[in-house]
Amino acid sequence: MLFIAGLGNPGPCYENSRHNIGFMMVDIIHDCHQFSSWSRKFQALLADGVINGEKILLIKPQTYMNCSGQAVGKVMRFYRRLPNDLVIIHDDLDLPQGKARLKTGGSSGGHNGIKSIDLHCSMNYRRLRLGIGHPGHKSLVNEHVMGNFSKSDEIWLEPFLTTINNNIGLLVKGDNNNFINQVMR
């Protein structure tokens, strides 16, 4: 079983924020594939389904971004899964809008949600980093990350997330290189 966790903050006030692009992606996967209804367990929303013959558990931590690892760690321990059974989808300030990178392990890059996942789940999981762009100056970072996507962002955001969803089967199979090549095409 593969676990796919999208990172974000719970609540309607954060729903369209750049920081919630991980939640947005997991919601699209949920809606476009045959997954169960969301259920609340382990401080998270969970839904199970199948993609390309592989059982998948979608996870949306409800602990707020900086404590995401608490919820994901509880789920991983309950199901007795290893970090290599986990994919985390999250925003990345240092990637341009509409760009994606996939890697296993490595630095948190200052992302507090990833720091929390590392603390509770080890570091050997796959990370799908989704670019939200940088505002240009350090003093604008918090407002940018916590701010909502604008109407003009729809030009790149919807096709970007749709392309990822259309190729999610490659990620599920572990075909990381082909997955990222298709997404970035």
- Catalytic residues, by residue number, are 19
Q: How far apart are CA 118 and CA 120, in angstroms?
A: 6
Closest CA to 125 of 66, 169, 68, 45: 68
Q: How far apart are CA 142 and CA 100, in angstroms?
A: 21
Phi-psi region of 116 (alpha: psi -120 to 50; beta: other; left: phi over 0): alpha
Q: How far apart are CA 76 and CA 61, in angstroms?
A: 12
Q: How far apart are CA 173 and CA 21, in angstroms?
A: 23
